[in-house]
């Protein structure tokens, strides 16, 4: 595998060398410091081989380096191998480049034509005055977000009905806002829970910052 540190996690691309039934590709694995490595989506490729006739049809293994970052993209260089077409020659190989958005290794996706998916965090102390959401819209259904007390009771002004997420198509992170709240300073230090309502979108994560939206 190719391991690398990513914030508070160690991530890795686990190479699969199958005997039959699957191409040689990679799964995503993760470890928290002091813990064991865990396969996040067993038998599901993270860096997968290409379609029939492509240069990486039978193999896609990363270079043994962490991904590079260019602005809001993470870049994975990898070795791709295609099908052998001439018995007298070796397997054709080439270098490929795969990219994903920053902090978008995995997400929770939900379609619009059914009730929204609900994601509820564990209680935590609200750390800063700004909340940014890493979300990708599949359809035009704005995400709603409520902040409640640790016991689930409502906090006036922070209901899902009052919420909104300011989406900038040129950025990965969007800023969470509530109708009558210029920022979230009054929540800092309080024990709270976040309750996301996701519909027609992919929720990748969120983060807190003291800096205002730019």
User: pLDDT tens track of the chain, all 214 residues?
Assistant: 889 999 889 999 999 888 766 689 999 999 998 899 999 989 889 999 999 889 999 999 999 889 999 989 999 999 999 887 777 788 889 999 999 999 999 999 888 777 889 999 999 999 999 999 999 888 767 889 999 999 999 999 999 999 987 666 667 888 899 998 888 999 999 999 999 999 888 999 999 988 654 4
Cβ(37)–Cβ(29) under 8 Å? yes
Q: How far apart are CA 162 and CA 214, in angstroms?
A: 22
Q: Where are the domains of the chain?
A: 2-101, 108-209
CB-based contact 125:193 (threshold 8 Å): no
Strand order in the sheet with 26-32: 2-6, 9-15, 26-32, 38-39
Counting Cβ atoms within 10 Å, is residue 38 exposed (0-12), middle (13-18) or buried (19+)?
exposed
Give the end-to-end CA distance of the chain in Å, rounded to a whole number: 39
pTM of the model: 0.82
Question: Torsion angle of alpha carbons 79, 85, 87, 92, nearest 10°?
Answer: -20
Domain 108-209 CATH assignment equals 1.20.120: no
- Give the SS3 label for residue 137: strand
- Say whether 185 sits in a helix, a strand or coil: helix
Identify the bridge partners of residue 33 per DSSP, sorted by sequence position: none
């Amino acid at each position: 595998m190719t391991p690398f540190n990513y914030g508070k996690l160690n991530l890795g691309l686990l190479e699969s060398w199958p005997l039959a039934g699957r191409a040689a590709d990679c799964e995503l694995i993760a470890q928290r410091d002091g813990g064991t490595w865990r396969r996040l989506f067993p038998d599901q490729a993270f860096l997968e081989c290409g379609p029939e006739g492509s240069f990486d049809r039978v193999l896609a293994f990363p270079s043994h380096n962490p991904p590079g970052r260019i602005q809001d993209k993470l870049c994975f260089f990898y070795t791709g191998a295609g099908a052998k077409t001439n018995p007298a020659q070796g397997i054709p190989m080439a270098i490929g480049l795969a990219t994903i958005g920053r902090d978008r290794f995995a997400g929770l996706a939900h379609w619009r034509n059914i009730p929204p998916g609900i994601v509820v965090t564990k209680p935590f102390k609200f750390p800063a005055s700004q909340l940014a959401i890493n979300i990708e819209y599949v359809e035009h259904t704005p995400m709603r977000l409520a902040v409640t007390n640790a016991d689930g009771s409502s906090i006036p002004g922070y209901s899902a009905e009052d919420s909104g997420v300011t989406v900038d198509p040129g950025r990965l992170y969007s800023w969470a806002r509530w109708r009558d709240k210029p920022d979230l300073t009054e929540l800092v230090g309080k024990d709270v829970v976040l309750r996301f309502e996701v519909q027609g979108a992919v929720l990748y994560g969120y983060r807190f910052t003291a800096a205002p939206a730019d």
